[in-house]
Amino acid sequence: MHTLQARELSARVLQPLDTIPAYVKRAVNLIPEQQSTKAPDGVITNYRRAINLIPEQQSTKAPDGVITNYGRAINLIPEQQSTKAPDGVITNYRRAINLIPEQQSTKAPDGVITNYGRAVNLIPEQQSTKAPDGVITNYGRAINLIPEQQSTKAPDGVITNYGRAINLIPEQQSTKAPDGVITNYAREN
């Protein structure tokens, strides 16, 4: 048995064993418990908040952790005038000035005041007019050249003869015309 133990000892690697995590020496907190602490890298240190040296009446900000004065924009424009500050800089509103006499109609779709400039109607008032695109034109109704005794239709604006379907089926038989063409009813048995 001695030879077997001797062989096992000679085959053993002589390196130090890993330390058990329970016995690892940890950082000791020496800061009084009333003070805030932090340990981002494993070392316990005092938290040391930023100190506000700005009087409490003034607004402050600290986006990156450093306390600074808020520094609002100062309005140097008289209070009677309108102002705007879309990018944080206060400027005069500067409304467009209307130089067109008040009796005339105006428009300002892009912010520039211009004369409304309505279309002028040169067509006699007895005639019908239309202006779908803003240009006044004669209405130009279709003229009916078909005798008044005949039925007419104008679904697309052109007057045409109504042209009813002619029933060639004897009157004793039932008929139908769902699509406008007269056909025999022909019941199904």
Q: What is the pLDDT of residues 51-109, one digit of tens each?
A: 777 788 888 888 777 788 877 767 777 888 888 887 777 888 777 677 778 888 888 77
pLDDT digits (tens, 9 = 90+) for 65-76: 778 887 776 777
pLDDT of 188 reads 63
Residue that is written with structure tokens 């424009």 in the block: 77
Q: What is the rounded average pLDDT of the residues 132-155? A: 77
- CA 135 – CA 101 distance, rounded (Å): 25
Instruction: Name the β-bridge partners of 84.
Output: 91
User: pLDDT-derived band of residue 111, with 50, 70 and 90 as boundaries?
Assistant: confident
Rounded to 10 degrees, the C-alpha dihedral 51/55/56/61 comes to -60
Q: What is the mean pLDDT of residues 183-189?
A: 72
**Whether the model pTM is above 0.75:** no
Residue type at position 4:
L
pLDDT of residue 6: 65
pLDDT for 11: 67
Q: Which residue has the higher pLDDT, 123 or 13?
A: 123
Task: Give percent above pLDDT 70 in the chain.
Answer: 84
Average pLDDT of the residues in 14-22: 74
